[in-house]
Structure 1
Amino acid sequence: MRTTPETVAELIARQWGDHRPGLKSEDTVLSRHRTAQEAAARAALLVDLLPPGAEPHLGVLLDNTPEFPFWLGAAALAGAAVAGINPTRRGPELARDILHTDCRILVTERAHLPLLRGLDLPGVRILVTGTEEYEALLAPYAAAKPGEATVAPPGPGSRLLLYFTSGSTGAPKAAICTQGRLAAAGDSLARQFAVTPQDVHYICMPLFHGNAVIADWLPALVAGAPVALRRRFSATAFLDDVRAFGATYFTYVGRAVQYLLATEPRPDDREHTLRLGFGTEAGAVDAARFAERFGVRLVEGYGATEGGASVVRTPDTPPGALGRAGAGDDLAVIDPGTGAECPPAVLDDRGRLANGDEAIGELVNRGRSLFEGYWRNPDAEAARTRDGWYWTGDLFFRDPAGFLYFAGRTDDRLRVDSENLAAAVIENILARWSDAAAVAVYAVPDEVAGDQVMAALALREGAVFDPEAFAAFLAAQPDLGTKMSPRYVRIVGAMPTTATNKVHRVGLRKAGFRAAPDPVWWSPPGADGYRPLDPQALAELLAAYEAQGRAELLDR
């Protein structure tokens, strides 16, 4: 019987002497013993390279190559911490991430060296994998064993990850994740999904983000299953990878599932070994389409890298819901303005949320939180844990049976004609439109007061936007409230996303309906259907904002 691990270091050390497959990447297959050996060598090198008195932190600026899990394992063995560095960051922002987390060592690869040119990184030593210098540095440590070299003996409270969480405003915050919490999370998921050594976990989401490490790498490590690495996510290569690696499980975030569904269907779409996908933000419609096309069940979960709250799916979870509160959590949907708990959702006979104003609020954990803080960011930490509660920053509503439904981020709330709406609810409805490959809904300022609904649509290959067909589709949706229909529709060639496949909403909101060169359609007040927002209409619209003194809101 598998024992519950106390640290990730223990999980790395368990691989020693195990010659079953441990890591697959392109044409390479390494045993579990070899992966532990590589981690031990890097742990010993790390201990020798860290300056005396320095924080035991290293930055990892890599794609999903074998070096990434090697260094995760090395940090665990050495009692150090990894800061996952996002390669989509640039210039001063990238330098800020490295310096903010007190990284004295940065591990990168040749492909990312151009990102570092001209950056002022005082006291940071850069190691470039795949070079002769790098191999020469590692060579003396080839015989190292797990546990021989440590900065400090690793324990459950040892920091292991400093993973940046994205935000719509301000610099990203580095969430602290300890070895004990991470080991427990991996063990919990391995048990929940009955992971065995015969499984193969396909890691196609970026390892600098918590999803790939916590929900993919760690459960495999706990169960003794190999992992298979894809350098960067590719929708067109997904099935080929799954077959080549014999993958049985993968994780996803953001719009990855929509990209997979947008690929050209093939007769052999169901001929593969995959049994399960686990992630967030696929939506009920796309999850059903994925299961129908590929024969693979998607399990939607909720739980931030910070660990402050979790929602667990149970067999009786209704469609559209994420589940109930995880063990030990006292979750409530709270009105941020009053601090009072929101009443249960009321759905009318057409499935529409009839009391969104009252029912939608911020998900709060009033019980024991696993949140371990942000690195050197006391203000953000205090905001997250105000009044002794953990505030997730996410909008939810709860049905009378206690099931929780995701309604978007707190900055995704729209207020149209004095009615509060949630972007995620509208997105789930628009995702039903057969011509849509990806959908994003967000607020743009109304010219008089409040907001209006705007939608960005990426169309399926070969589709052309038909305004009459789109309007007819909206009219046929029984759960689309009268104020939910988008006033503005932007047709994008591809949905703008972050490096973790989440929609880049900040850019969409900032562009608003002035989204040249993308075509924008609109439904003027009192008019039926959609028409192009041509230069004359745009000029008249902007003049209305000027007349109301609200033009500056369009630039926020």
Structure 2
Amino acid sequence: MGTVAELVRRQWDDHRTGLRDEHTTLTHHQVAAGAAARAALLTELMPDRPGSEPHLGLLLDNTPEYPLWLGAAALAGAAVAGINPTRRGAELARDIRHTDCRVLITQRAHLPLLDGLPLPGLRILVTDTEAYRALLAPYEGTAPDELVPVRPVGPDSRLLLSFTSGSTGAPKAAVCSQGRLAAAGASLVSHFGIRAEDTHYICMPMFHGNAVIADWAPALVAGAGIALRARFSASRFLPDVRAFGATYFTYVGRAVQYLLATPETPHDRDHSLRLGFGTEAGAVDAARFEARYGARLVEGYGSSEGGAAIQRTPDTPPGAIGRAAPADDLAVVDQETRRECPAARFSPAGVLLNADEAVGELVNRGRNPFEGYWRNPEAMAARLRDGWYWTGDLFYRDADGFLYFAGRTDDRLRVDSENLAAAMIENILARWERAAGVAVYAVPDPAAGDQVMAALALRPGAAFDPAAFADFLAAQSDLGTKMPPRFVRVVPELPLTATNKIHRVALRRTALASPDPTWWRPTPTAPYEPLTPKAREVLRAEYAERGHPFPGQPATEAGQPRER
């Protein structure tokens, strides 16, 4: 496909509607012209200097300025670091400095985040100001073909520095070249039959790879229109889809659960939406979404790093993600022995019979498009070991080669010497009709290993009924004997990262000291009962007797605000 710059230049002669939000409408030509003007400004602000990278940071909501600056960077031979506006203080400054940003594009609403931060030499442009418009004015009218880029542009030119979610440590900036981004867009266009007449609704944050790689890039390749929502809103989703005539969107994490939690109406199918593509919705919620809205959700697998991809085919069984992409040599391996795990075996009811040996880490043993992390050799070494690309994700594979997601390697539990994957338990608990969202995570057992804890966000108007929940568990034929949660925490909403993924670190930090209503089983077969202060003291004494710390600290000490 070549470069993203070529795709931006191709818009110049297209006068159809190309980019919209609730305030602005631009044709494809105007998008190309706006990108060219910003690229011309960039070449003045960031002349090529030895030892200085042409990197700019975007600290923006999903406004039209975001895709315009992406296009500008592509034309100018620069790279964009998407800066997460939910980061604060030293962490935010670290992200900007780590990616060597020389220019930061932001908006007035985010200026307070920068107050007092040590960012020497950084040029800050504030898009919604007269000063910004005046700075840009001399470059308006620049045609893309008139530009002299800061550095020569080719398929290998660095374009994105996409931060990982950072829920378990400092986020890493994955490198993505113009060629890889263009190829990813072309692959999705081919796979989903995306057309120039389509409109892509971007409601996931554009600082994250999902929105740019899986939504913006295929629209650019196909010549489709783009509609933006500044920040994800479940209540605005369907009105936006109708207003923009959206046909395609992407999602990450729990966004689908929030959509399903909105009140149903007789008009839920009155829209043009055809397809949603994303990760971590789960088979239960994907089926609920299609039944309610009449639009199909396709669960995929990929990452900002691009080291492994799984493609869904029409014969993919329920619950599976798909098979390895043709170019990949994917295997599920034991993390200790490096040996390939045996194929999964299922009972007639669909119960995974050999999870302990079948679940392992997904690796790519062949060539892959992973282009590295920006200035992070330790993370590179952890990702590339023994000549393989290690995804950090748990999977199992059936006898026909279909792959099933089982969670992150950090989400593995070991209960009574049996290995369990959090995602597998979550998929079962999500069937409970009262649950709007589910998160499963480990708390240390007083003696050894782990115990299963679940956080439940309930549907509007629902209450937690411990007996009804226990009856539900007993009726699930594929719920293994070690899987039922010993502890159930009822939360008003699940704590999320800025990319709508469950923030399990926050849940594990509070664990049994959570202020939320928590229920527990004193023995595996006992009824659920409230975890009272007295019960907590009994547990605390049991941990102390065995020389182990009590799992959890109060929420005020954990310092983990809920992010939406």
TM-score normalized with structure 2 length: 0.97
Aligned-partner Cα distance in 1 for 2:206–2:65? 11
Amino acid at match of 2:250: T
Cα deviation 1:503-534 (Å, max 9, x = unaligned): 11110011112111x10110112552210000
Q: Which residue of the partner structure matches residue 33 of structure 1?
A: 29
Q: In 1, are the aligned partners of 2:165 and 2:497 still within 8 Å (CA)?
A: no
In the TM superposition, what is the alpha-carbon distance from 1:385 to its structure 2 partner?
Answer: 0.6
Q: Which residue of the partner structure matches residue 561 of structure 2?
A: none
Moved more, 469-478 or 349-358: 349-358
Cα deviation 1:56-80 (Å, max 9, x = unaligned): 1000000000000000000000010
Q: In 1, are the aligned partners of 2:486 and 2:524 still within 8 Å (CA)?
A: no
Aligned-partner Cα distance in 2 for 1:206–1:375? 21
Aligned-partner Cα distance in 1 for 2:426–2:493? 16
Aligned-partner Cα distance in 2 for 1:327–1:79? 31
Amino acid at match of 1:144: T
Q: In 1, are the aligned partners of 2:165 and 2:499 still within 8 Å (CA)?
A: no
SS for the counterpart of 2:12 is: coil
Q: In 1, are the aligned partners of 2:40 and 2:139 still within 8 Å (CA)?
A: yes
Q: In 2, are the aligned partners of 1:205 and 1:233 still within 8 Å (CA)?
A: yes
Q: Which residue of the partner structure matches residue 17 of structure 2?
A: 21
Are 2:392 and 1:396 equivalent residues in the alignment?
no
Q: Which residue of the partner structure matches residue 109 of structure 1?
A: 107
SS for the counterpart of 2:116 is: coil
Cα deviation 1:75-125 (Å, max 9, x = unaligned): 000010000000110000000000000001000000101111110101111
Q: In 2, are the aligned partners of 1:43 and 1:149 still within 8 Å (CA)?
A: no
Q: In 1, are the aligned partners of 2:396 and 2:404 still within 8 Å (CA)?
A: yes
Q: Which residue of the partner structure matches residue 473 of structure 1?
A: 472
Q: In 1, are the aligned partners of 2:512 and 2:552 still within 8 Å (CA)?
A: no
Among 536, 547, 550, the residue aligned to 2:548: 550
Q: Which segments of structure 1 move beyond 3 Å, counting only runs of 4 or more?
A: 552-556
Aligned-partner Cα distance in 2 for 1:335–1:505? 23
Among 46, 66, 69, the residue aligned to 1:68: 66
SS for the counterpart of 1:258 is: helix
Are 2:54 and 1:56 equivalent residues in the alignment?
yes
Among 2, 8, 28, the residue aligned to 1:6: 2
Q: Which residue of the partner structure matches residue 269 of structure 2?
A: 270
In the TM superposition, what is the alpha-carbon distance from 1:206 to its structure 2 partner?
Answer: 0.4
In the TM superposition, what is the alpha-carbon distance from 1:170 to its structure 2 partner?
Answer: 2.5
TM-score normalized with structure 1 length: 0.98
Mapping of residues 95-106 of structure 1, within 5 Å: 95-106=93-104
Aligned-partner Cα distance in 2 for 1:244–1:332? 44
Aligned-partner Cα distance in 2 for 1:207–1:185? 16
In the TM superposition, what is the alpha-carbon distance from 1:136 to its structure 2 partner?
Answer: 1.0
Are 2:488 and 1:456 equivalent residues in the alignment?
no
Amino acid at match of 1:248: T
Amino acid at match of 1:94: L
Are 2:190 and 1:194 equivalent residues in the alignment?
no
SS for the counterpart of 1:191 is: helix
Aligned-partner Cα distance in 2 for 1:352–1:512? 28
Cα deviation 1:123-158 (Å, max 9, x = unaligned): 111110011110111011002111413111210000
Mapping of residues 119-134 of structure 1, within 5 Å: 119-134=117-132
In the TM superposition, what is the alpha-carbon distance from 1:293 to its structure 2 partner?
Answer: 0.4
Q: Which residue of the partner structure matches residue 507 of structure 2?
A: 508
SS for the counterpart of 2:399 is: coil
Q: Which residue of the partner structure matches residue 534 of structure 2?
A: 536
Amino acid at match of 2:255: A
Aligned-partner Cα distance in 1 for 2:421–2:143? 52
Aligned-partner Cα distance in 2 for 1:209–1:136? 30
SS for the counterpart of 1:368 is: coil
Aligned-partner Cα distance in 1 for 2:525–2:314? 45
Q: Which residue of the partner structure matches residue 42 of structure 2?
A: 46
Aligned-partner Cα distance in 1 for 2:132–2:289? 43
Q: In 2, are the aligned partners of 1:447 and 1:548 still within 8 Å (CA)?
A: yes
Q: Which residue of the partner structure matches residue 183 of structure 1?
A: 182
Q: Which residue of the partner structure matches residue 92 of structure 2?
A: 94
Among 506, 522, 536, the residue aligned to 1:524: 522
Q: In 2, are the aligned partners of 1:329 and 1:369 still within 8 Å (CA)?
A: yes
Aligned-partner Cα distance in 1 for 2:348–2:452? 24
Q: Note the residue ranges of structure 2 that are not aligned, 5 or more in a row.
A: 559-564
Q: In 1, are the aligned partners of 2:167 and 2:503 still within 8 Å (CA)?
A: no
Cα deviation 1:160-193 (Å, max 9, x = unaligned): 0000012443310000000000000001101111
Cα deviation 1:421-457 (Å, max 9, x = unaligned): 0000000000000000000001110111100010000
Aligned-partner Cα distance in 1 for 2:161–2:326? 25
Aligned-partner Cα distance in 1 for 2:29–2:482? 59
Aligned-partner Cα distance in 2 for 1:328–1:167? 28
Q: In 1, are the aligned partners of 2:85 and 2:110 still within 8 Å (CA)?
A: yes
SS for the counterpart of 2:80 is: strand
Amino acid at match of 1:332: A
Does the C-alpha gap of structure 1 residues 40 and 347 become closer, same or farther in structure 2, counting only changes over 3 Å? same
Q: Which residue of the partner structure matches residue 375 of structure 1?
A: 374
In the TM superposition, what is the alpha-carbon distance from 1:16 to its structure 2 partner?
Answer: 0.5
SS for the counterpart of 2:386 is: helix
SS for the counterpart of 2:144 is: coil
Mapping of residues 78-477 of structure 1, within 5 Å: 78-147=76-145, 148-477=147-476
In the TM superposition, what is the alpha-carbon distance from 1:349 to its structure 2 partner?
Answer: 2.4
Cα deviation 1:461-501 (Å, max 9, x = unaligned): 00010000000000000000010000000100011111111
Aligned-partner Cα distance in 1 for 2:27–2:152? 26
Amino acid at match of 1:134: Y
Moved more, 189-198 or 75-84: 189-198
SS for the counterpart of 2:273 is: coil
Q: In 2, are the aligned partners of 1:445 and 1:554 still within 8 Å (CA)?
A: no
Moved more, 42-51 or 269-278: 42-51
SS for the counterpart of 1:513 is: helix
In the TM superposition, what is the alpha-carbon distance from 1:273 to its structure 2 partner?
Answer: 0.4
Does the C-alpha gap of structure 1 residues 496 and 246 become closer, same or farther in structure 2, counting only changes over 3 Å? same
Aligned-partner Cα distance in 2 for 1:473–1:552? 30
Amino acid at match of 1:515: S
Q: In 1, are the aligned partners of 2:82 and 2:207 still within 8 Å (CA)?
A: yes
Aligned-partner Cα distance in 2 for 1:212–1:439? 24
